[in-house]
Amino acid sequence: MRIKVVFLASALLVLGLLTSFGWTRGILKTSLLTTFAPVDRAEKSVVKRKKANPIRVRPVEVLALAPQEQRWVDSVFATLTQEQKIGQFFMVATFSNQDEAHYQYIETLVRHYHIGGLIFFQGGPHRQAMLTNRYQAAASVPLLVGIDGEWGLAMRLDSAMEYPKQMTLGAIRDEKLVYRMGQEIGRQCQRLGIHINFAPVSDINSNPSNPVIGNRSFGESKENVADKALAYMKGLQHKRIIATAKHFPGHGDANVDSHVSLPVISRSVEQLRDVDLYPFRRLIADSLMGVVTGHLHVPVVDNTPRLAATLSEKVVTELLKKELGFRGLVFTDALNMGGVGRLPSEEINLRALTAGNDILLYPENVPDAVHRIADAVKNGEITQSLIDEKVKKILRAKYWAGLNRYQPIALENLDRDLNSPEARLLKQELCEQAVTIVKNKGNLLPLGSLDTTRVAAIAIGGEFGSVFQKSLNNYAPVRTIALNEKPQSEAALEEIFGQLGDANTVVISYHRLSPSARWNYGITKPSLDLVARLKQRGLKVVVAAFGPAYALRPFVGTSADAVLCAYEDGEDMQRVVPQVLFGSIPSKGMMPVTVGDWRLGYGLFTAPNGRLAHSLPESVGMRSVQLKQIDDIVQKALKDRAFPGCQVLVARKGKVVFDKSYGTLSYNGYERVTNETLYDLASLTKVLGTLQAVMLLNERGAIDLNQKVAYYLPEFGSNSKRNMTVSDLLLHQAGFPAGLPRAVERAKVTSGLRSGFYKASRDSSHTLQVGPTLFAHTSLKDSVWNWIVNTPLTGPKADEDGKFGYLYSDLSFVSLQRIVERVTGQPIDLFLEENLFKPLGIGTMTFNPAQRRPTFRAAPTENDTWFRNALLQGTVHDQLAALQGGISGHAGLFGTAGDIVKILQMNLQKGQFGGRRFMLPGTVPLYVRNASDRSHRGLGWDKPDPSGNSSYISPQASVRSFGHTGFTGNVVWVDPDYDLVFVFLSNRVHPSAGNTIINSQKIRRQIHEAIYKSM
């Protein structure tokens, strides 16, 4: 009766598997090339239990070939001598950073001992490619080339892509991303002539103190490990790269390093069956082509004292091949490792073969091993049929990998192909999806209310000016503190407190963390106490751990308001975390392991809030290679002395995808401009400052666009200006004259500056700084305004009704500034700071940076020999703005492209940014439409020239696009149809404003055109 029950159970299991997996030969062969669709399959035990028969599963013939394909295998096999057959079992370790003696030794093994494969370790891609070509040329049978690239080629090679480690991937909820990573690593392997990647690690890290697996595992959940490993495997194999699950039958519960000694896996039969073997069963039941056996002692399977699973027939043949039905290639782990045992190397190689392994990885003393195996066949220790069976299996794998049509590796463009923009974007996406928030008291994250939230960042164990700290400043002016040496005393903490200034929110980032609990994960007691000390001072505290998930343990029960795990400390992760903290991207990650109260699978979601993310062009449908044309355009402009330096920024679909600075501050200097260099924005002040204030006040009901200006400025009521409206000012149809106003002329006489107006130093009467060492009398500002009030209107007449036609004039926006200040009762610079700049997180945009931001470096403008007799740097170039103390409605703002784009993006998003609504949805569209029948302009904004002859914007810009230019060599342009923002800043007026090359060569237009072409 018992036999019948077991038979029935076995039959039902086989029937279920056949139904579930569609196991026919044809289906299995094509499954490697199908679209990834991970599934969860429940399977029965494959481990022998006491008083129970083993349950066997139907083998998956992953190396089955069609008859015409098998002919290549048979033809090659027929040519092999016994020595050549035995040579196929050896996959020898080699390096591309050694000397010629090493290369000749490897070549000798290939030529004379006919080894079947190579595993490359340290070196570089180009050197490895050349050596691979050299070794393949020496081989009688093409070599299988492998690499231990768990997190990509960079695990072994310099100048190659490094992807996140597997525990970081375990934090990602979407397996499709892991599949894509497998595909991309597979593509790179293919490009470099590699056929086997010794990945994925399929061990379940059930022991947090595991000294050798740890971050190499996807985590502690058997389902999560299996799902991620399956995705990684499929990605590799869909690119015809043999994936290998390791380390069979499961290395996750080890407490010693198998590189040094033999770990004992003290699992029960049930634990091994239900947990450790689960991922291997899942992968084998699908289409896994390779398994690496581990140097582990597993007594419940084979209790032979100190016998590694690698050398155990019960593990390799009985469990892996017979019970689990694995039909792919079985690789030993590296046979030079301490865990394999202390037998002579030739005996280890032989025992590994007889245990059931197919390929001997990293063997030592190949010549002696070849002879020992040959002798073993002669004396009956191993059968010839077993040798032949293994060789044919290896040849089938070589056929599957494409070695039947071997071609040498093309060396041209190798580096470019291995480090493609798409590959870099994928890495960023993996980092974005992994970041995990485990605590968020009061929904502190993402950080908001930037007008009242003052942020400081303390990096423990980090570098000053790190990518992380620089990236924080993309979102707000953050006070940054870096402690390369981790604090060891209370005195060190007191020094930190003195640097916080007025910050009310502190982000503490922990770097150089350790996976070891023994050393408290690299976190010193004072650096941990810092959290509590800051909380005692009433500050909000955010902890960002740039290290393994286990390193969160010291923060369990912390008083910090928010805790975030970043898993790794590379630059990509350092770029991503600030975006999560400020809400430009969401938080989606989950814990891949349990750490205290933060259980497996736990992770708090945050939603994006409309702030700008930072990514690669490919993330928004643009091409990096096309945008690189900007480099050529700018370099030619620098050579032609169109300007000493510039900054170019491109944002699309809410992401900054290009932000680059070029050149130097001046032609004769060596100080390079950076993305932090301030530029004199000139007339960009009109749309980035004054116009924004008018829009805000218009929708609040404080300014009516149809109201006469005289209603707000009564001094206009008694002269020819009494009928002009606010919209006339915005459209430059008020009749004001163009060109340099008479006010500037009147402030200067032919023989010099007017007596009594100016002094070389500031005093109580001379408070308006108009030059580096020139201060004007305080009354001059009112005098200039009076001159403007009395300036005759000379604009062209539009019709007999007395309306004026279009004539661009700075005086219109000087008048708008006065209106803003009258209705708000405060200077325009303060109004903009409180209502726009601070809430947007703008930290550089300001008037008079030489006075207010002396630490910022400004690009010099003109060497003014006509008015101020000085080189202007941090003092406004525009003379009329200078006469008003550097603060005017038409000019005076300084800033960087990184801050300018925030204003433009808020306008593009119809008034919304950073989770805050600055303007009603209908406000911006009202101002950016074509608003006049007398010009092509909008209300305050410039619009595309219908003639298409613009020197600064592309003819591809849509009719709905809008922007403005600045006299000093700037342009901003927004295109809603393409969800595109373009910012160009330069100091083309240095050292002379007469330099017009930027216009004659249409440099800004060329750059704008390159941007459109990239889409």
Furthest-apart CA pair in the chain: how many Å? 121
| Average pLDDT, rounded, for the chain | 91
Give dist(CA 500, CA 478) in Å, integer.
10
The confidence score (pLDDT) of residue 1000 equals: 97
Tallying the residues shown for the chain, one arrives at 1015
pLDDT digits (tens, 9 = 90+) for 902-946: 999 999 999 999 999 999 999 999 999 998 888 999 999 999 988
Query: Is the pLDDT assigned to residue 815 strictly greater than 80?
Result: yes
Give dist(CA 975, CA 948) in Å, integer.
16
Give dist(CA 310, CA 340) in Å, integer.
7
Question: Is 126 an active-site residue?
Answer: no
Query: Is the pLDDT assigned to residue 54 strictly greater than 90?
Result: no
User: Can you say how many angstroms the Cα of residue 938 is from the centroid of all Cα atoms in its chain?
Assistant: 37
Beta strands in 881-979, from DSSP E residues, in sequence order = 893-895, 912-913, 916-917, 962-966, 970-975
**More confident call, 856 vs 501:** 501
Dihedral through CA 476, CA 513, CA 152, CA 471, nearest 10?
A: 10
The confidence score (pLDDT) of residue 48 equals: 39
717 contact partners, CB below 8 Å, separation of at least 6? 710
CA angle at 887 for the pair 886 and 891, rounded to the nearest 5° = 85
Q: Among residues 651, 716, 682, 748, which one has the least CA distance to residue 998?
A: 682
Q: Which residue is associated with the tokens 């180009």?
A: 126
Please list the residues that pair with 964 across neighbouring strands. Answer: 972
- Distance linking the first and last C-alpha atoms of the chain: 72
Query: Is the pLDDT assigned to residue 824 strictly greater than 80?
Result: yes
- Which contiguous run of DSSP H or E holds residue 781? helix 780-789
Q: Which residue is associated with the tokens 């005093």?
A: 763
Question: Is 259 an active-site residue?
Answer: yes
Which position among 102, 112, 259, 371 bears the catalytic label?
259
- Which contiguous run of DSSP H or E holds residue 530? helix 525-536
Q: Among residues 986, 953, 965, 960, which one has the least CA distance to residue 907?
A: 960
Using CB atoms within 10 A of its CB, is residue 28 exposed (0-12), middle (13-18) or buried (19+)? Answer: middle
Question: Strand 893-895 vs strand 870-871: parallel, antiparallel, or unpaired?
Answer: unpaired
* Confidence label for 733 from pLDDT (cuts 50, 70 and 90): very high
pLDDT digits (tens, 9 = 90+) for 528-583: 999 999 999 999 999 999 999 999 999 999 999 999 999 999 999 999 999 999 99
Mean pLDDT of 839-857: 89
Is the four-CA dihedral 196, 197, 200, 205 of positive or negative sign? positive
Q: Residue 225 — φ and ψ, nearest 5°?
A: -60, -45
Give dist(CA 685, CA 676) in Å, integer.
19
pLDDT digits (tens, 9 = 90+) for 744-765: 666 664 445 656 778 888 898 8
Give dist(CA 306, CA 297) in Å, integer.
6
Q: Which residue is associated with the tokens 């006070």?
A: 479
Which position among 333, 358, 561, 878 bears the catalytic label?
333
Question: Strand 360-361 vs strand 436-440: parallel, antiparallel, or unpaired?
Answer: unpaired
Half-sphere exposure of 625 (CA within 13 A, CB side): 6
Tokens representing residue 760 in the block: 């070389």
Give dist(CA 607, CA 445) in Å, integer.
10
User: Can you say how many angstroms the Cα of residue 259 is from the centroid of all Cα atoms in its chain?
Assistant: 34
Using CB atoms within 10 A of its CB, is residue 332 exposed (0-12), middle (13-18) or buried (19+)? Answer: buried
pLDDT digits (tens, 9 = 90+) for 382-423: 999 999 999 999 999 999 999 999 999 999 999 999 999 999
